[in-house]
Amino acid sequence: MYLKLKKYFKTWVIFFVTIIFVFNSEPRMTFSLENLDLSAKSAVLMEESTGQILYGKETDEKRSIASITKIMTLLLIMEALKDNRTKLTDKVTASEHAKSMGGSQIWLKSGETMKVEDLIKAVVIVSANDAAVALAEHICGTEGNFVKNMNKKAKELNLNNTHFKNCTGLDEEGHFSTAKDIATMARELIKYKEILRHTTTWMDHLRDGKSLLVNTNKLIKSYRGITGLKTGTTDDAGCCICATARRNDTGLIAVILGCEKSEDRFKDAEKLLDYGFNNFSFVTPKLDTINLSPIKVLKGIKQNIKLEVLKDKKILIPKGSEKDVTSTVEIKDAVCAPLAKGQALGKVIYKIKDQQVASLDILSSEDCPKATFGNILKNFVKSFVGG
């Protein structure tokens, strides 16, 4: 009897922990609803729009990541296109260094020219190392300079457990990342929707049809809603994949690292994506605006100002919990001037059974300068003339 009670108690504890989702500006770790029995050494499932982590296994473990590296390579290339530092139609001349890359490649010859768009296609679809290096040299002069920018971008994205030594992902000491960091950089890359045109392509050609490209991501043909993104395999990294998918208004990013067999990474990615789509959904809870009456302002030229909430915020919750979402308003009775339009003055707190799942800022709808003799006089004259 004692053992049964202990077992049930543990089950309920795990259940209530799973619904603790805090959607502030910083994504926060959450706990899984079940054990998915993954083959991967480390894994993570992230919701695309919020950055919320829905499942994790050794998410911060530093590992070799093979060609998953090219997610950051592609991110910098897309930024260069956005900033007009290169164009899709620009011609790139392959160097001897680019030609010398091993592993997956399109067999570039030294001096061969190819358009930026075709090289991107080769990097995305067949994970071509020579194409990646050619693009890196085209944008930054040398692969070394490009790698410096990769590490700089990693710091900007707060990828504290990531360091790059090359732009290809070929095994090299000191080149590593984590499942969580990869999901974060993937989230940035897929903001460039044009990249999805290539990540969802199963077959294509280069060199006027002479070179066939077949996507290394088998999920492109088999998983509903798949949008990408990148596979990778080396001796140190094992078999890896970062898989992205979207169904209706939910986008998911699944990262699988360190599988022994290629088919295992695809099975694990499917498990993660199925888990996310089957167990979570977005809701837009109604906001009670009764408590959003004008707030009193101290030491301001106005006695009170109106409040606003720009829009209702969709929140991701376990399916079946939709009716349990409640909202409360937290705001002071009075605030001190000066105040700026759009300044946060309070929060709407969304909860499920006393557990906070999201918050939404309550904003000042207008400016309210601090009261001075000058602006008091100005307002008096203005009202007098107007009267």
Every domain of the chain and the residues it spans: 42-280, 289-386
Overall pTM surpassing 0.85 (yes/no): no
Please tell me which residue in 70, 153, 165, 347 is annotated as part of the active site.
70
Question: Which pLDDT score, from 0 to 100, does residue 84 have?
Answer: 96
Structure tokens given for 204? 């294509």
Q: Is 383 a catalytic residue?
A: no
Going through the chain in order, the beta strands assigned E by DSSP cover 42-47, 53-57, 91-93, 113-115, 203-206, 211-214, 226-234, 238-247, 250-259, 280-283, 295-298, 304-305, 307-308, 315-318, 325-331, 334-336, 344-352, 355-364
pLDDT of residue 20: 36
Measured CA distances, 223 to 65, 152, 220 (Å): 23, 34, 6
User: How does pLDDT run along the chain (387 residues), one tens digit per residue?
Assistant: 444 444 444 444 334 433 333 333 333 334 355 678 899 999 999 999 989 899 999 999 999 999 999 999 999 999 999 999 999 999 999 999 999 998 999 999 999 999 999 999 999 999 999 999 999 999 999 999 999 999 999 999 999 999 999 999 999 999 999 999 999 999 999 999 999 999 999 999 999 999 999 999 999 999 999 999 999 999 999 999 999 999 998 999 999 999 999 999 999 999 999 999 999 988 877 766 555 788 888 888 888 888 888 666 678 888 888 888 888 888 888 888 898 998 988 888 888 888 777 778 888 889 988 877 666 666 656 656 555
CATH level 3 topology of 289-386: Peptidoglycan synthesis regulatory factor (PBP3), Domain 2 (2.60.410)
Q: What is the CA radius of gyration of the chain?
A: 26
Catalytic residue at 62? no
Catalytic residue status for 127: yes
Look at residue 361 in the predicted model and tell me its pLDDT: 86
Q: Which of 67, 104, 177, 359 is catalytic?
A: 67
Q: From the candidates 64, 95, 127, 177, which is the catalytic residue? A: 127
CATH top-level class of 42-280: alpha beta
Length of the chain: 387
